[in-house]
Amino acid sequence: MVETTERISGWGLFPAAENSVLRGTGIPEQLSDYSDIVARGLGRSYGDQAMNSRGYVVPCTDKNRFLAFDERSGELECEAGVSLFEIIEVFGPRGFFPMITPGTKFVTVGGAIANDVHGKAHHVDGSFKNCVESFEIMVGSGKVLQASRKKHSDLFHASFGGLGLLGFILRVRLKLRKVETTYFRQQSFRARNLDEMLDLIDEKDAEFPYSVAWVNPLARGKTLGKGVLTAGNHAGKEELPKKLAAEPLKITGLPALNVPVFLPGFALNALTLRMLNRIIDFIQSHAGEFAHYDKFFYPLDAINNWNRGYGKRGFTQYQFVVPVEGARKTIRKILEEISDGGCHPFLNVLKKFGKGTNYLSFPMPGYTFAIDFPITRKLFPFLKKLDALVLDAGGRIYAGKDATLDAQSFAAMYPELEDWKRIKKKYDPLNRFQSDIGRRLGLV
């Protein structure tokens, strides 16, 4: 085990801080040697989720072996450091795909559990918990426990959205989806304003398992909320055009494009914002009928280190969900605040969630909006204002992307927090598992 001091951050590059990183053996065998520790996956959470500037951080990506696979049921057993990219690379050509995937494939299975990630099909498939059968977890005492819906079920459920604060997840049994092709059949639909957009989402979600909308952040007044909804489903082998049918289970490797350096802060201004959104508008509304999974699920993965495009100060992704009832009013108010607030929103993504789960898992029935903001001094008081609007509407913020929320607001947004804390106390009485977000949001 080698201890190094490294400056680390989440994907948003904010906050960044010196951390003691334990490299070498993956999970410390002698857990009792360490009193303040947290696991780190591929660092794709946006803020301080996998940071622990007062204690230790343990990268888990070297624990990435596949252990067993049942071709008939699609059940895979693997170490928690395996990434969705690795799963697709190995099982894609055999006709299997992750059942639930976020908008990047560069996440580990352990990280996906810790944030209970959701994807474009949440209204049909729910969150990551729904594809996990069980896992092995090292808890505060150093003991390794099996957790499933039947065994240690409190630990099992509380780990989804538990931000790695209940223990090190070591091995996971999860279900993959059998697919005929790695392509999707998709359609895009244009909405002229927010009402049209929300109607469109309601209508198309009944028809398509996958859907997500891009909302133009520059629209105001009557066109506020305008954008393009893209919806689709897995393409069958027979449906594919000849050119694609030659390799129906095609997979792609690592991206060739890269942002080699941090772009200067001044590159982010109203002009680049306008240009970027014109390009997105064009791409979204001219999408072809068939899309490879990389385009359909992971357009941002096409460029390595694209986060550097926001400059050294970084950015945050503000993602909230508000209940369906009253959502139109709240979303309109938030969009108006954003267009008047002077903080440039670079990307707006809207989606409707289906049923949620429990404890600290983020998704709940309602509309979720994700907005990228470059970090500026103005942003912090501005986000406080938005937090209050979200809370007022009975909504909540996604901890997996958050970098600024306070403990009081988090407690008000997550009514099962006290129950979750009781489970934390039961499995980690000495509070060994800690992190920067854990302290900031009052979880540890």
Residue from 37, 163, 235, 335 binding ligand FAD (CB under 6 A): 163
DSSP 372: E
31 binds ligand FAD (CB under 6 A): no
Query: Residue 218 contacts by C-beta under 8 Å, 6 or more apart in sequence?
Result: 273, 274, 277, 339
Stretch that binds ligand FAD, among 36-44, 174-182, 203-211, 421-429 (CB under 6 A): 36-44
For the chain, the distance separating the N- and C-terminal CA atoms, rounded to the nearest angstrom, is: 26
Residue from 252, 400, 420, 440 binding ligand FAD (CB under 6 A): 400
105 binds ligand FAD (CB under 6 A): no
* Angle, CA 97 vertex, CA 94 and CA 98 arms, to 5°: 145
112 binds ligand FAD (CB under 6 A): yes
User: CA–CA separation, 435 vs 38, rounded Å?
Assistant: 6
Residue from 9, 19, 108, 348 binding ligand FAD (CB under 6 A): 108
Residue from 87, 121, 169, 224 binding ligand FAD (CB under 6 A): 169
Report strand pairing: 16-23 vs 56-59: parallel
User: CA–CA separation, 443 vs 325, rounded Å?
Assistant: 29
Stretch that binds ligand FAD, among 163-171, 233-241, 287-295, 372-380 (CB under 6 A): 163-171
**Min separation Cβ 69 and ligand FAD, Å:** 20
60 binds ligand FAD (CB under 6 A): yes
11 binds ligand FAD (CB under 6 A): yes
User: CA–CA separation, 223 vs 219, rounded Å?
Assistant: 6
Residue from 13, 44, 97, 444 binding ligand FAD (CB under 6 A): 44
User: CA–CA separation, 339 vs 19, rounded Å?
Assistant: 37
User: CA–CA separation, 77 vs 174, rounded Å?
Assistant: 6
Longest dimension (CA), the chain: 61
Subset of residues 79 to 98 that bind ligand FAD, contact rule: CB under 6 A? 80
Do residues 38 and 57 touch, judged by C-beta distance below 8 A? yes
Stretch that binds ligand FAD, among 100-108, 187-195, 197-205, 328-336 (CB under 6 A): 100-108
Q: Is 204 helix (H, G, I), strand (E, B) or coil?
A: helix
**Min separation Cβ 242 and ligand FAD, Å:** 32
Q: Is the sign of the CA dihedral 85, 86, 91, 97 positive or negative?
A: negative
350 binds ligand FAD (CB under 6 A): no
Do residues 115 and 147 touch, judged by C-beta distance below 8 A? no
**Min separation Cβ 334 and ligand FAD, Å:** 19
Size of the site for ligand FAD (CB under 6 A): 32
Query: Residue 37 contacts by C-beta under 8 Å, 6 or more apart in sequence?
Result: 22, 28, 31, 52, 55, 56, 57, 58, 432, 433, 434
Nearer Cβ to ligand FAD (118/292) = 118
In terms of Cα–Cα distance, which of 319, 296, 327, 320 is closest to 231? Answer: 296
Residue from 22, 42, 155, 423 binding ligand FAD (CB under 6 A): 42
**Min separation Cβ 38 and ligand FAD, Å:** 5
Binding marks (x or -) toward ligand FAD, 273..312, rule CB under 6 A?
A: ---------------------------x------------
Amino acid type, 198? L
43 binds ligand FAD (CB under 6 A): yes
Nearer Cβ to ligand FAD (104/409) = 104
Nearer Cβ to ligand FAD (164/225) = 164
Q: Name the residues that contact ligand FAD, by CB under 6 A.
A: 11, 38-45, 49-50, 60, 80, 102-104, 107-108, 110-112, 114-115, 117-119, 163-164, 168-169, 300, 400
